[in-house]
């Protein structure tokens, strides 16, 4: 691993109070590899705080306040139940109703259809939902505030390890949290060398 990767591993060692041997660190190619290694090498305390359930319930309650009342499966894509019409306002209200930080909306450059003789630009940005499942949204919301949710002296679940790893990567590397998924390669996908 390059300097960024070494610094990242050192940060995980410091936060989780564990030593990651160099041969093990060199084998960590994905975010999931890091999460799995940490989960199997740190004490996991019982009972589980059920943090995932708490955050999922907060998000479901927020969605209900927005009129989205259908039953949501963890692997269901956001686009299947959150209307993209007025997505900027919907996303802002969801964050307010849940009191959670949410991942940034994605932006797409599209041709400007509202042209007038005063138009300076041929295209404009529109916001759209990140390509996430509900479970990934819960993970992202947890990761954006991992310091609030994870007690590194008393980790109780794989979910806590997951959001801490995602949050640390987002914080140190600056990659958008929605891009930090289990199967994301550290070098190719996240730019960590």
Instruction: Give me the pLDDT at residue 127, please.
Output: 82
Give the pLDDT confidence of 33-42 residue by residue, as tens digits: 999 999 999 9
Hey, where are the domains in the chain?
3-49+150-179, 51-136
For residue 33, the Cα-to-chain-centroid distance in whole angstroms is 16
For residue 170, the Cα-to-chain-centroid distance in whole angstroms is 8
| Residues of the chain falling short of pLDDT 50 | 1-2
Instruction: Give me the pLDDT at residue 106, please.
Output: 86
Question: What's the 3-state SS for the chain?
Answer: CCHHHHHHHHHHHHHHCCCCCHHHHHCCCEHHHHHHHHHHHCCCCCCCCCHHHHHHHHHHHHHHHCCCCCCCCCCCEHHHCCCCCCHHHHHHHHHHHHCCCCCCCEEEEEECCCCCCCCCCCEEEEEECCCCEHHHHHHHHHHHCHHHHCCCCCCCCHHHHHHHHHHHHHHHHCCCHHHCCCCCECCCCCCCC
Instruction: Give me the pLDDT at residue 121, please.
Output: 60
Instruction: Give me the pLDDT at residue 22, please.
Output: 95
Global confidence as pTM: 0.89
Give the pLDDT confidence of 73-102 residue by residue, as tens digits: 999 999 999 998 889 999 999 999 999 999
Q: What is the overall mean pLDDT for the chain?
A: 91
């Amino acid at each position: 691993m390059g300097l960024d990767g070494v610094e990242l591993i050192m940060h995980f060692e410091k936060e989780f109070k564990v030593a990651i041997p160099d041969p093990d660190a060199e084998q960590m190619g994905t975010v999931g590899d890091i999460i799995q290694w940490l989960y199997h090498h740190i004490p996991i305390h019982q009972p589980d705080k059920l943090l995932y359930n708490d955050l999922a319930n907060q998000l479901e309650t927020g969605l209900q306040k927005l009129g989205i009342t259908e039953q949501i499966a963890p692997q269901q894509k956001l686009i299947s139940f959150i209307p993209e019409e007025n997505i900027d306002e919907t996303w802002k209200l969801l964050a307010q109703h849940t009191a959670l930080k949410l991942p940034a909306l994605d932006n797409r450059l599209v041709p400007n259809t509202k042209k007038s003789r005063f138009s300076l630009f041929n295209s404009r940005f529109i916001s759209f939902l990140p390509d996430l499942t509900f479970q990934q949204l819960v993970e992202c919301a947890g990761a954006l505030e991992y310091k609030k949710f994870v007690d590194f002296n008393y980790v109780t679940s794989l979910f806590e390890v997951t959001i801490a790893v995602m949050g640390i990567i987002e914080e140190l590397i600056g990659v958008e949290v929605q891009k930090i998924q289990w199967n994301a390669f550290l070098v190719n996908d996240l730019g960590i060398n």
